[in-house]
Amino acid sequence: MQREILEGFGGSNLRVYAVWVPFNGGSEQAADVSQRVLPDPRVVHVWDDEAATSDWFAKNVDKSLAPAWDVYYLYGPDAMWTDVPGPLISSGATIIGESSALRDAIVPLLQGDSPVA
């Protein structure tokens, strides 16, 4: 994500919200360390010790009972948050496994932005 997307579109108006949850050994300390993995100033890091975001997105966006984690949700510049955010442009899991799909979905949103070589 950092190298393939954030660095590739360094001058873009892209915003990333990285929500860290206590799954797979995750801890607040690990989330603090993870900020070094995504050091871009456009990334907002949030620690969700109750995994409330995971439950909410699973129920309201994925329509699933399984917790949502290691997943991305991509919304465009015209997205609005009413009962649920929308329109959803793309989503997928795992984030690293779907990084090409995520990049492909982001590129059209950044039409005026030039990728960095």
Residue 102 burial by CB count (10 A; 0-12/13-18/19+): exposed, middle or buried?
Answer: buried
Mean pLDDT by groups of 10 residues along the chain of 117 residues: 83 89 81 81 92 96 94 95 95 94 92 52
The pTM of the full predicted model, rounded to 2 decimals, is 0.85
Q: Quick one: pLDDT at residue 110?
A: 85
Asked if 102 contacts 90 with a C-beta cutoff of 8 angstroms, the reply is: yes
Domain boundaries, the chain: 2-110
Q: Quick one: pLDDT at residue 116?
A: 44
Q: Quick one: pLDDT at residue 58?
A: 97
Q: Quick one: pLDDT at residue 117?
A: 37
DSSP code per residue over 47-109: E-TT-HHHHHHIIIII--SS---SEEEEEEEEEEESSSEEEEEEEEESTTTTHHHHHHHHGGG
User: What is the bridge-based pairing of β-strands 71-81 and 85-93?
Assistant: antiparallel
Q: Quick one: pLDDT at residue 114?
A: 47
